[in-house]
Structure 1
C-alpha cells in the first residue's frame, strides 16, 4: 500500500467517523436537544468541506461541486456560535431570526453553479470571504467563552474551548494553504480526521460519565428529598441566592453535606443543575421587583445586581429563557402589584 492510498484511507475513515457522529447527535435524546443538533451541524459543515478536499485530490470536480464543498464552512461558523449559546447559556428556545445566520450558506449552495471557482481573482475573493465569515464566528465563539465560561461547569467550558480551538486550527490550516505557506493540501483532511476521533472519544466519554455519575452515590431518595427541602427552606428564609458569589460548595457547607450530594439532590428532584436552580429564585425575585412601583424607575442593571446576578447579560438571558420576555418587556406588559408598605 503506497503513501497516497494510506492518506486516502485515513481521510475517508475520518469523514465516515464524522458522519457517524453527526447521525448519533441528530438522534441523541439525552442532554440538550438544540445543543446536540447544533453540534451535529458544526461537524456536518466541516465534513462537507473536508470531503471536498479528499475528492478534489483524487477526482476531477466541476466548479459547482467544489463550491458545494466550500459552502460547508458557511454552515460551520453559525452553528458553532449557536452551539456555544445553547451550551454555555443553556438557552433552550431559539427563534426563526436566529437561523438567519444560516442564510449565507443557503445562498451560496443555491448559486454554486454561477459562483466563480476557476482560480480567477473573483474566485479567490469569494474563497477568502467564506473563511472571513468563519473567522467572525470564531471570534464570537471565543467571546462567548470569555463572557460565560466561568458561569458554567468547568467541563462544559473546557469542552467548548477545545472545540473552538479545533475549528480554528482547521481554519488556520486552510488559510496557510491559501497563502502558500502550507503546500500539503490533503493535510487538512488528515488533521480533521485526527480531530474527529479525539472529539468523538471525548464527547462519548463525557456522556458516558454523565449517564453513570450517580451510580456509586450513597444518597438515597429520602435523604435526597430532605436536602432539597432544606435548601428551599434556607433560600426562603435567608435569601442566599442574592449573593452573586454563591457557590455549590458554600451552600453544601451550610447544609453539612458534600457538593456532590447536594448537586445530585437538586438534579434528581428539580431536574436542574445548581446554577439553574439558583437563577430560578433570582428571576422570581426580579419579577417581584419589576412589578414593584418603588422600582418602576430603577435601571434593569440595578435590579440584576439586587437579585444576585453578576452581570446584566446573564440576567437578561436567564430571564428571557424563563419567561420568554426580556426584563423590560416584562415590566412594560405586567401591571404593578399592590405592595404594602
Structure 2
C-alpha cells in the first residue's frame, strides 16, 4: 500500500488516540469514571480514521460500518464526560443508552441500503463517496446532532459555573474554564469537518484533500494537548453536586416570603458572624459549611446571599478575604509578611486567583496597594 501525507498523519492520530484511550481506561484514581468516559471518547475519535477505513472497507464490511458510524456516539459520550466532570454525584444509568438511538438508526438505515448490492458499490457507499440521498442525509444528520450536543454542553457548563459560584468559596473555577476551552476546540474541529463534507460533495477535490489533512492533524494535536493537560493538572476538575439548586430557582419555588424586617435582621446577623468569627479563613469553605455554622440550612443561606444580598457566595466570601488582606497590607508592623503568606492566611489557595480578586475589589495589585499606603504614611 502506498502511503501519502494523509495516511501518515492518520496512522499517528490512530495510534496516539487509541494509546491514550486505553491508558485512561486503565488509570485508577478519584476521577475513574470520568477517565473511562473520556477514554471511550478518544477511542471513538481515533477509530473515526481515514487510514483505518481504507483497511476495513473491503474485507470487513460490518465492522467498517459500525466504526464509521461511531461518529454518532462521539458527542453523546463527550456530553456524558462533561456531566461526569462537572457533577461529583454523576453516575451512568440505563437512561443514558438513549443517546445511542441515532447510532442505531443510522446503522439500520445503511444495512437496509447495502443489502443485495455488489461489493464494489458497497465499498463506495461505506466510504461515503456516493452522492445518493441517504448518504447526504447521514452527513447532514450527524452535523445536526453535533451542533445540538455542543449547545447542550455549553448549557451544562453555564449551570455548573453558576452553582459553583453560589455554593463554593474556593478561589478557582478552572474546571469550567478548561472544559469551556475544550468545547470551543471541539467546536472548531467539527467546523473543519463540516467544511470537509461540503467539499466532499463538490468538484473541489484538492480542497477536500487538504481539509481532511487539516482535520486529522488538528485531531492529533487535541489528543496530545488534552490528555497531557488532564494528567498534569488533575486539580482542574473540581466538580459540584448536581442536586444543588440555583438561588433563582429556590426563590421561584419558595411559597413563603419573609418580611423585609426579618430579612434585614438575617443579613445583619450573617455579616456580623463573618466579621467576628471569620469563617472565610477556611479556603475550602462551602455554602453547606457556613449554613451549619450559623445554625441555618443551605437553602435559606443560599437565598440570603445569592438573592437577598445579590452576590454569588464565591464573591461574597472573597470580599471578606480581600478586606482582611487590605488591613494586613496597610499595617506597617506586618511589612515583612509576604503577599504569598498573606493570601494563604486570608483563605486563598493560589496567587493568581488572589491577585485577580484583589484587583477586582480595589483596582490595584496587592503589591501596588501596599506601596501606595506606605507612601501615604511617609
Q: 1:258 Cα deviation (Å)? A: 4.8
Give the aligned partner of residue 217 of structure 2.
190
> How is 1:33-48 mapped onto 2 (pairs within 5 angstroms)?
33-48=32-47
- 3-state DSSP class of the match of 2:294? helix
5 Å matches for 1:49-68? 49=48, 51=49, 53-56=50-53, 61=58, 64=62, 66-68=64-66
Partner of 1:133: 145
Q: Which has the larger radius of gyration?
A: 2
Q: What SS does structure 2 have at the residue aligned with 1:194? A: helix
Alignment of 1:90-169 (within 5 A): 90-109=88-107, 113-115=111-113, 117=125, 119=130, 120-152=132-164, 153-169=172-188
Aligned length: 247
Question: 1:186, 1:57 → 2: CA distance?
Answer: 15
Separation of aligned partners in 2, 1:159 and 1:36: 16
What do the CA deviations read for 1:256-278 (whole angstroms, capped 9, x no partner)? Answer: 985698588xxxxxxxxxxxxxx
How large is the RMSD of aligned CA atoms in angstroms? 3.9
TM-score, normalization by structure 2: 0.54
Distance change >3 Å, CA 243–CA 32, structure 1 → 2: farther
- Higher RCO by CA contacts (8 Å cutoff, separation 6 or greater): 2
- Structure 1 residue 85, shift from structure 2 partner: 1.7
Using the TM superposition, give the Cα deviation of residue 76 of structure 1 relative to its aligned residue in structure 2, in angstroms.
0.8
Instruction: Please list the CA deviations of residues 231-254 of structure 1 after superposition, one character each: whole Å capped at 9, or x if unmatched.
Output: 958842265655232225357679
1:243 aligns with 2:262: no
Secondary structure at 1:30's aligned position in 2? Answer: coil
**Gaps spanning 5+ residues in structure 1: where?**
211-225, 265-341
Q: Is the 8 A contact 1:85 1:91 kept in 2?
A: no
Structure-1-length-normalised TM-score: 0.59
1:137 Cα deviation from its structure 2 partner: 0.8
Q: For the Cα contact (< 8 Å) 1:170–1:192, is it kept in 2?
A: yes
Per the alignment, residue 74 of structure 1 pairs with: 72
**Aligned 8 A contact 1:64 1:114 in 2:** no
Secondary structure of 1:92's aligned partner: coil
Runs of 4+, deviation exceeding 6 Å: 228-231, 253-257
Structure 2 distance, partners of 1:196, 1:5, is 22
Unaligned runs of 5+ in 2: 115-124, 165-171, 238-280, 307-311, 326-341, 350-378
Which residue of 2 is the match for residue 22 of structure 1?
21
Counterpart position of 2:7: 8
Match of 1:306 in 2: none
